Structure 1
């Protein structure tokens, strides 16, 4: 099962139960007591998802590792390519 299928099944189950509670097809005193909170639950979940996404991106950006060896290797390959092109007659505007 793919992640998309898992997501769609989870959303279908959540909104099925959410719809049944908000249309009062499922009756319980707890649902009556917290009815307002249940009504705004999708908005709260969207806000929480946004906060999670922003913090994840910021954390991964701040903890990104530098690869100094790869950078040096890439710079030497660039220099070799420039020298090869100069031998073939290409002129650089540096």
Structure 2
């Protein structure tokens, strides 16, 4: 009787292992099907990062041309950039 129970237990373990293996193979296949779409997303992200880097470089160039500080973006002292000429709307009567 012990041999029969042992054989039934071995068969159950083998069946469970087969089920787990089939599930793992299904997950692998699903992941492999997702790879092309993930590559497309990755290239889109790379493109956005490249564009942002180019925009940041352009902003830095513009800030330098306008006399702004590179780190804070604030204008340099007014001696380098005199204040604008006041207009009639700037005075309170």
Shorter-chain-normalised TM-score: which range?
0.3 to 0.5
Larger radius of gyration: 2
TM-score (norm 1): 0.38
Relative contact order, higher structure (CA 8 A, sep 6+)? 1
